[in-house]
Structure formats: structure tokens, C-alpha cells
A and B are shown apart, each in its own frame.
Chain A
């Protein structure tokens, strides 16, 4: 820079302005969220007497005892069932719905709009709606089962059943997003490929397997990542729907963490769970990126 006066226009615009524009967001985000993560790491390595803000350093003790806690092992199992169930079901439903919406194109426009509704409403509202749907006295599902000759089921008072309800509700809430994504993927496939394949005598099933699926690969991967993340960190549906019950039957890691912190006031253990949750998020994304890097077009 030629001259030094601070508010020389060129100097100002070229050297200082970028930082003035960028720093509020950077400081804000990194200052608060970055600091929060450091606080959590520190907390997870200490043992605090209840409600105290200082305690003694215990190294990885919290993590070790966490893995020895049956409730935590249970929470991991529940989390994986919940996430796996949602991803499989969500991917299937998204794919089927996206194909239907794509085939019908503009005729189905209003249905495309309707598809996103569950994604837009709050987790609490979704939880209330699903609790009502599966309620033993006033719900819709049990009368429906009886009408087709089946026995009514105790949906929310039995652990396994409640886990099914929670997984269904979660899928319902988040699969619209992946549907719209897949629909976008279908729309960008080059139509000449189909024309060329038709000329070569390919039938529709072949075109689907050899053109649609491979070209949709990166979109399917994105959907899978998205569904995994959204379910893995799901709190706002499960907590109002079951509160983690009955008897911890739907207590996923996020809920276990919340209970440790705000129920048992054990913030150091809760922080350890949080760090593990974050680490799992990172590991998942690395695995997904590895898996799909070669497959994407």
C-alpha cells in the first residue's frame, strides 16, 4: 500500500474492510460455539460435585465409566435402531415419492408442495400429533387395526412399540426434505441419455438401473447423510413424544445426555456424552465422504 493514513480509501477498502465485514460473524460463531465445545471438553475431563463449577481433573474417567454404564450402552443401541430404521424407511419413502412426483411432473405440483408440510412444522407439534394418532383411547391407529380384524396394540406404554412410533414420527418429519432433494436429482438427469438408450433398445427397467440409479448416486448419498444426521441428533420429536420412556425404551443418546445434565445434574458426564455425540457425527461424515466419493459422478 502506498500511503499509511488509516482512512485512506484504498487502504481502507483493500486491507481493513474485509475484516470489518467478516469478523462479526466469525467472532460470534467461533467465539460462542467454539468456546462451548472447549467448555464441554474441559467439563468432560473433570468431576464436579453436584452443581459446583469447579472440580478435580479426572482424565478420561468419565468416558470410561460412561461405557460401563448399562443405561448408556442401552442408549447407544436405541440410537442405532432409531437412526437405522429412519434411514432405511426414509430413503425408501423418499425415493418412491420422488419418482411418483417426477413421473407426474407438473400435474403433481400441488402434491410437491404438500410433501414439505411435515418438515416445516415444529418437532413439538409433530410429537403431539403423533402421540394423539397412536393414543390408546383417542387415537386413530387402534380403531383402524380393529376395523381390519387385528388386535389393538399398546403403542406408547411398551418400549419396543414406542420406539416404532418414534421412528415413524421421525421419518415422517424429516423424509420430505430428502424427497425434494431426490426430485431435484431426477430433474437434472440429462434426458438425451434416455433417448439414446431407447434408440439402443433398452427397456425401462434397464434404463432405471443403468441410468437413473447411478446418476442419482450423489443425491442418494446426500439424502442418506442428511437423514442420518437429522435422526442422530433428534431431540425435539422424541422428548415431547415419549420423554425417553417408557422405562428408557426410547432414550436415544441425545435424550440420555439431556437427562444426565438436567435431570441428574451431572454435567461432566453429560459433557462426555456430548463429545461422543459430536465425535460420532464427525466419524459418520468421514465414512460417508469416503464411501461416496468414488461413486459420485
Chain B
């Protein structure tokens, strides 16, 4: 994009340095890629090995034959659809709820003026600083006292409530950056609020909406402390929770199988990421800089 032309502009007279900087950058990048990917590669390679194979001395890096037995074993496990189903269900419902609630709130915060506005905005935004783990204990006590332990409701409520602050934050910023005139002309033409939203605001705010979806999906799909604390029943188990238990329940750890399960649980997120890579990166920058 931009940076190509500027690097030409930037150092017009010192090509020797430029080449050195470039070589250095490539070397750095290579080392960093090893650091980033080696842990994953080592786990992925083991998913094609047999339990005996991985204990061999000296260590064999590549599997003797690429067998997909472990993947088949995980995917055909009779409980797997339930874990996957739970994770998908919680992720979808949380994301939809978060988006719906935050969208309207953000619109009101960005566009309307009303008494107590700032107090209410703070009430939503300040909890963004509260990390999930730090509210596990009081939430657990509240959930116990209303009898919601081991329910989807408890998980959906706590997931949504911890996702809303960030979503309101992002969307309020997005709406503030859209010129008012655009919707005002729609209102003049007699459009209803929801029509204006659906046909005008949603399309313009799409990058922000995508950022919210990406963040909420990532958070919910990977969520661990809440599901660990608020559920004990196997019927409610999510993929990360099952992965955690999987590690423990086997006497001798069947590493190829555990790693296969781990890889399968992260694959959907990674595939989605590679499809929306650009938006994810923009969304992350938006979310963190502000």
C-alpha cells in the first residue's frame, strides 16, 4: 500500500543501508515466526503420530505416516457434537444479544442528548476495565443464590454482560464518526428509526459491527473461567472446558489425542480469522488504541 512508496521516498541516498535493514528485517522475521509457530507445529505434528511413536528415543520430528486416526477418533466421539453444539450455541446467542443491545445503546449515546447520559455511559464503559476472572467469585455466589448453577442462562447472562462494555465502546465511536446529515435526511423523508438504522446506519457501521462480532465470538468461543466455575454438568460442557478435563481424565496422557482435540477446537476460529484477517486486524487496533 502506502508504505512501499514511502520507503522509496524515505531514504533516497542510502541504498546500502536499505538493503542491510531489509536483510536484518527478514532474519528477525524468520526468528519470530519460529517462536510463533514452533509450539503449534510440534503439537500439530503429534496429531498424526501414535501414542507409542511420540515416546521414541531419539525423537522423530515427523510422523512415520500421516494418519488421520486421531482426528477421526475425536470427531466420531459420541459426546463431541454436544461440546461443539454447546460452544456454537453459546457463541451465537451471546454475539447476537451483545450486538443487539449494544447497537441501540451506542446509537443513543452517540446521537441523542438526555439527562444522566454521562453517568449511564460510564456505568456501561467502566466495567470494561474489570477482567472476567476477578468477578468469578461474586458471580458464582449470585448464581448459586438464584438457583442458576448449571444452566445455559447463567452462562449466557455472564458472557453477554462482560461483552457489552467493549461493544458499546466500539460502536459509540463508530456512530460518532458518521456525519449526522446522513440519517437526518432519511428522517426528513419520513423514514422510521429502525428503517434508517437497517438501511443506512448498519451498512456504514459494518466495520465496527464486524469488529464487535469478531471480539465477542473469540471471547465466547474460548471462554474458560466462567464455564469452569458455573457448570459441573457434562451436558453443558464447552470445547475448551472439555479440553481442560481431557487433560486430566486420562491416566497416562494420550498426547496425540489431546493435541488433536486442541487443534480441532481452535480450527474454526482460525479459519474464520483467515477469511476476515483484514477486518480483525483493524478491529483489534480500533479496540485497543482508544
Q: How far is the CA of A125 from the CA of B281 in the complex (A)?
A: 22
Closest Cβ neighbor of A40 among chain B residues? B138
Residues 8 to 60 of chain A near chain B (Cβ within 8 Å): 13, 15, 17-19, 21-26, 28-30, 32-37, 39-40, 43, 53
Q: Is B68 an interface residue (CB 8 A)?
A: no
Chain B residues with Cβ under 8 A from A26's Cβ? Answer: 105, 120, 123-124
Tally of chain A residues near chain B (CB < 8 A): 99
Q: Is A200 an interface residue (CB 8 A)?
A: no
A124 touches which of B2, B40, B244 (Cβ 8 Å): B244
Chain B residues with Cβ under 8 A from A282's Cβ? Answer: 129
Q: Given A97-B29, A113-B277, A235-B225: A181 and B289 within 8 A (CB)?
A: yes
Q: Which of B71-79, B157-165, B176-184, B198-206 binds A?
A: B157-165
Q: How far is the CA of A209 from the CA of B25 in the complex (A)?
A: 18
Q: How far is the CA of A123 from the CA of B55 in the complex (A)?
A: 26
Q: Is the CB of A21 within 8 A of B108?
A: yes
Q: How far is the CA of A285 from the CA of B131 in the complex (A)?
A: 13
Q: Is the CB of A97 within 8 A of B28?
A: yes
Q: Is the CB of A124 within 8 A of B101?
A: no
Q: Is A115 an interface residue (CB 8 A)?
A: yes
B43 touches which of A32, A128, A281 (Cβ 8 Å): A128
Counting chain B CB atoms within 10 Å of each CB, which of A35, A101, A140, A226 scores highest?
A: A140
Tally of chain B residues near chain A (CB < 8 A): 104
Q: Is the CB of B255 within 8 A of A100?
A: no
Q: Given A115-B36, A117-B270: A187 and B3 within 8 A (CB)?
A: yes
Q: Is A114 an interface residue (CB 8 A)?
A: yes
Residues 5 to 60 of chain B near chain A (Cβ within 8 Å): 6-7, 9-14, 17, 21-22, 24-26, 28-29, 32-33, 35-40, 42-43, 46, 54-55, 58-59
Q: Is the CB of A143 within 8 A of B59?
A: yes
- Minimum Cβ distance to chain B for residue A222 (Å): 6
Q: Is A132 an interface residue (CB 8 A)?
A: yes
A15 touches which of B13, B25, B105, B114 (Cβ 8 Å): B114
Q: Is the CB of B137 within 8 A of A261?
A: yes
Residues 224 to 239 of chain A near chain B (Cβ within 8 Å): 226, 229, 232-236, 239
Residues 206 to 229 of chain B near chain A (Cβ within 8 Å): 218, 221-222, 224-225, 228-229
Q: Is B109 an interface residue (CB 8 A)?
A: yes
Closest Cβ neighbor of A123 among chain B residues? B224
Q: Given A172-B36, A274-B137: A123 and B222 within 8 A (CB)?
A: yes
Chain A residues with Cβ under 8 A from B43's Cβ? Answer: 128-129, 132-133
Q: Is the CB of B55 within 8 A of A137?
A: yes
Q: How far is the CA of A190 from the CA of B10 in the complex (A)?
A: 11
Q: Is B88 an interface residue (CB 8 A)?
A: no
Q: Is A138 an interface residue (CB 8 A)?
A: yes
Q: Is B135 an interface residue (CB 8 A)?
A: yes
Q: Is B234 an interface residue (CB 8 A)?
A: no
Pairs across A and B, CB under 8 Å, 30 listed: A18-B117, A23-B120, A26-B124, A29-B124, A32-B139, A32-B161, A39-B138, A40-B135, A100-B26, A106-B4, A120-B269, A122-B221, A122-B224, A122-B243, A122-B265, A125-B265, A131-B247, A132-B258, A132-B259, A137-B55, A138-B46, A180-B281, A180-B285, A181-B289, A195-B10, A204-B21, A233-B134, A236-B225, A240-B224, A271-B137
Known: A29-B124, A101-B29, A128-B43. 18 other contacts (CB 8 A): A25-B124, A25-B164, A26-B120, A39-B142, A104-B26, A105-B3, A114-B36, A117-B40, A121-B269, A129-B42, A129-B43, A132-B46, A172-B39, A198-B10, A204-B14, A219-B289, A222-B288, A236-B222
Residues of B at under 8 Å CB distance from A?
1-4, 6-7, 9-14, 17, 21-22, 24-26, 28-29, 32-33, 35-40, 42-43, 46, 54-55, 58-59, 101-102, 104-105, 107-109, 112, 114, 117, 120, 123-124, 127, 129-142, 145, 157-158, 160-162, 164-165, 168, 193, 218, 221-222, 224-225, 228-229, 239-241, 243-244, 247, 255, 258-259, 262-263, 265-266, 269-270, 273-274, 277, 280-281, 284-285, 288-289
Residues of A at under 8 Å CB distance from B?
13, 15, 17-19, 21-26, 28-30, 32-37, 39-40, 43, 53, 93, 96-97, 99-106, 108, 111-118, 120-125, 128-133, 135, 137-140, 143, 172, 176-177, 180-181, 184, 187, 191, 194-195, 198, 204, 219, 222, 226, 229, 232-236, 239-240, 254, 257-258, 261-262, 267, 270-271, 274, 277-278, 281-282, 285
